[in-house]
Amino acid sequence: MQMVGSSVGVRPRTGSDPTVNGSAPASMGSDPVRGLTPIDKLLSEIGRAVQVLDGSVHASRPNPAGKYRPDDDATALTPEEQRHAAGLMRVNHVGEICAQALYRGQAMFCRDAAIRDVLYDAAAEEVDHLAWCRQRLDELRSGPSLLNPLWYAGSFALGMAASRAGTGKNLGFMAETERQVEQHLDGHLTDLPKTDERSRSIVVQMRDDEIEHRNTAETNGADVLPAPIKLAMRFMSKVMTVTAYRL
């Protein structure tokens, strides 16, 4: 595993945040806010939140489920299976909304430019997950959670709190989040209908990416978080998953 300054543990990106300003000079790495004034940063974050929440972000990698054919679900899923798969994919979509907000918040007060790049690079990769989950929800004739603005705001605040706690704890928060997401996605691979190959393909790729994100955080010096913090994170995650399945 590579160390910071060389695109640590995440796939090489083009040095830009595709959901904010399009592109940034190569010398700026992948940090889209470096050199901006506080007002510029605030406007950038608002713009980013709007793009994430209105579904206008685009994946940079092909959908692991492949090209959609309308008859796929007609032949593979019963109405009950379709409803259940939609609930699970809505939970995953909310998780990716939270991931976007968390990483942006974690980068906000991070003073280490290389670690900030790690956070922005991971966030850029999570955009793919966000777009794939949204596509699958559309295919399942369902939609995202109505509470997404609340999830985004709460997660961004949480990310900012982590970034204030210092680099080790900030990375520790990233590692623990990814670990819990990985376990959660494992559970979904058990729960999803066996015939829902499209959702399953997306979840498998997401899980592989989350493992890579956790490895990245650990390699770069993530602290182990205190047990009560981990427990609180699990509790909040449980509230989110139960709510998002229905709403």
| Binding residues for Fe ion restricted to 41-60, rule: CB under 5 A | none
One residue of 213, 217, 218, 220 binding Fe ion per CB under 5 A = 213
- Is 211:182 a contact under the CB 8 Å cutoff? yes
One residue of 48, 129, 136, 198 binding Fe ion per CB under 5 A = 129
One residue of 31, 73, 126, 218 binding Fe ion per CB under 5 A = 126
Q: What's the rounded Cα separation, in Å, for the pair 208 and 24?
A: 28
CB of 175 to Fe ion, least distance (A): 10
DSSP string, 52-99: HHHT----SS--TT-S--THHHHHH--HHHHHHHHHHHHHHHHHHHHH
CB of 207 to Fe ion, least distance (A): 9
Binding status of residue 210 toward Fe ion by CB under 5 A: yes
Binding region for Fe ion (CB under 5 A) out of 5-13, 144-152, 177-185, 223-231: 177-185
Q: List the one residue out of 164, 99, 110, 126 whose CA is nearest residue 11.
A: 126
Binding region for Fe ion (CB under 5 A) out of 8-16, 192-200, 210-218, 221-229: 210-218
Closer residue to Fe ion in complex, CB, 96/139: 96
Q: What's the rounded Cα separation, in Å, for the pair 23 and 20?
A: 8
Task: Give the sign of the dihedral formed by CA 216, CA 30, CA 108, CA 62.
Answer: negative
Q: What's the rounded Cα separation, in Å, for the pair 177 and 237?
A: 9
CB of 110 to Fe ion, least distance (A): 17
CB of 61 to Fe ion, least distance (A): 12
| Binding residues for Fe ion restricted to 64-93, rule: CB under 5 A | none
Q: Which residues bind Fe ion (CB under 5 A)?
A: 126, 129, 178, 210, 213
